[in-house]
Amino acid sequence: MLNLIDIVKEFAVEGKVEEVKPLGAGHINDSYMVRTQGAAPDYVLQRINHQIFKDVDALQNNVKRVTDHIRKKLAEKNEAELTRKVLTLTPTTQGALYHRSADGSYWRVMLYIANSKSVEEVSPALSFLAGQAFGDFQAMLADLPAPPLAETIPNFHNIESRLATFREAVGNNLAGRLSKVGYMVDEIEKRSAEMCKVEQLHRDGKLPKRINHCDTKVNNMLFDRDTDKVLCVVDLDTVMPGFVVSDFGDFMRTGANHGKEDDENLDNVFFLMDIYESYAKGYLKTAKSFLTPLEVELLPFGAKLLTYMQTVRFFTDYLDGDTYYKIQRPEHNLQRTKAQLKLLQSMEENYPQMLNFISSL
Ligand code: GN1
Ligand code: MG
């Protein structure tokens, strides 16, 4: 058994560690809260999933460049609470950005943001603030100096490549689960051509790539416990070039869902237009300075695309035998798939109103 306190000691943390306990519910990395004694700050320790992030060096370099750049921007605006408005990596005692333990695991430490909370459900008011914050995040990174950020997971939000992997999984049927779920293959295939249009627009030179967060789930944003104000965007592992509709869409997928991502009761799952509208208003407030008309027009499509992509990804993992996402129960990935498809269908029903709303802004 690894002693987590010993791992923490590899890092330049202040104070004496009192306790290390599990934190949060990410599907990929393992996170721990590191509580220290007295006035020293608390920390977050994470084991980086290096099956998924194969180049940990490039990953940590991205995070460092992104957080340094945002910190500089905030300092120029005389932001007072710098350590609450952007993540701060804590280097190892040797000055490295991560530590490799004897068992081959990769670890990193960052400051814990005091008096913060993450939420799984948003109100329209919170959604407006979140839209502004993710717009701000993209705006602040728009002038990140060269070289481009590394693609920490190649083709991460590329739907053509996701579909290719899905079709391979169907062909291989590794877990022997296909016969029961053939209808899901049809649901995915009947939408596939339309969903690939963004990649085509990019090839035609009509849709640019910009620095995106690429995991704009509601719970990847921290709020102040007392004031409910947005503090900062976290989980920066997938910050990389992509389409802005991706970030818009992933928030819709998670924040504008009445139910849970993996809701067992599909009646709970439907799209919330009020969350969509307030997020769009907030987002366009900060992002309209750099968006092209086509990017704005495609925002509603982004909501469908990201929900579709997540349906494909959960279903692919189900067919493969649950090798990517952590699961809590045997059919978890199938439940997730069904809930995402239900949300997509609800977005499809609301699509005319979604389009109207964006044109009205
Ligand atoms: C993963 O780590 P977490 O739970 O924030 C995944 C996202 C998915 C999400 C689905 C690196 O995010 O892309 O949208 O699960 N991250 C990676 O909930 O694959
Ligand atoms: Mg996360």
Q: How far is the CA of 28 from the centre of ligand 1 (A)?
A: 7
Q: What's the confidence (pLDDT) of residue 24? A: 81
- Whether the CB of 247 sits within 6 Å of ligand 1: no
Q: Which ligand is nearest to the CA of 332?
A: 1
Closest CA to 139 of 307, 36, 291: 291
- Whether the CB of 235 sits within 6 Å of ligand 1: yes
pTM over 0.75: yes
Q: How far is the CA of 347 from the centre of ligand 2 (A)?
A: 23
> For the chain, which residues make up each domain, given as ranges?
4-113, 124-360
Q: Which of 215, 221, 316, 320 to mutate to test the pocket of ligand 1 (most atoms within 8 A of CB)?
A: 215
Topology adopted by domain 124-360: Aminoglycoside 3'-phosphotransferase; Chain: A, domain 2 (3.90.1200)
The residue contributing the CA closest to ligand 1 atom 5 is 26
Peptide bond into 124 cis (omega under 30): no
Q: How far is the CA of 234 from the centre of ligand 2 (A)?
A: 7
Residues ≥6 apart with Cβ < 8 Å to 101: 2, 7, 107
Q: How far is the CA of 310 from the centre of ligand 1 (A)?
A: 9
Name the one residue in this structure whose structure tokens are 């640019």: 208
The Cβ of residue 32 has, within 10 Å, a number of other Cβ atoms equal to 21
Q: From start to end of 112-184, where are the E strands?
A: 116-117
- Whether the CB of 261 sits within 6 Å of ligand 1: yes
Q: What's the confidence (pLDDT) of residue 270? A: 98
The half-sphere exposure of 271 on its side-chain side, counting CA atoms within 13 A, is 26
- Whether the CB of 28 sits within 6 Å of ligand 1: yes
Q: What is the CATH number of domain 4-113?
A: 3.30.200.20
**How far is residue 177's CA from residue 194's CA, in Å, rounded to a whole number?**
27
Q: One fold for both 4-113 and 124-360?
A: no
In Å, what is the CA distance from 297 to each residue of 47, 194, 198, 309, 334?
39, 15, 12, 19, 32
Question: Per-residue confidence of the chain (361 residues) as pLDDT tens digits?
Answer: 579 999 999 999 999 999 999 998 788 999 999 999 999 999 999 999 999 999 999 999 999 999 999 999 999 999 989 999 999 999 999 999 999 999 999 999 999 999 999 988 889 999 999 999 999 999 999 999 999 999 999 999 999 999 999 999 999 999 999 999 999 999 999 999 999 999 999 999 999 999 999 999 888 999 999 998 899 999 999 999 999 999 999 999 999 999 999 999 999 999 999 999 999 999 999 898 899 999 999 999 999 999 999 999 999 999 999 999 999 999 999 999 999 999 999 999 999 999 999 999 8
Q: What's the confidence (pLDDT) of residue 304? A: 98
Q: Using CA of residue 216, residue 90, residue 151, residue 173, what is the dihedral sign?
A: negative
Query: How far is CA 255 from its chain centroid?
Result: 12
β-pair partners for 45: 32, 109
Q: How far is the CA of 216 from the centre of ligand 2 (A)?
A: 8
Q: Which ligand is nearest to the CA of 214?
A: 1
Q: How far is the CA of 31 from the centre of ligand 2 (A)?
A: 10
The residue contributing the CA closest to ligand 1 atom 12 is 27
β-pair partners for 21: 33
The residue contributing the CA closest to ligand 1 atom 15 is 27
Q: How far is the CA of 360 from the centre of ligand 2 (A)?
A: 33
- Whether the CB of 231 sits within 6 Å of ligand 1: no
Q: With contact defined as beta carbons under 8 Å apart, do 271 and 350 qualify?
A: yes
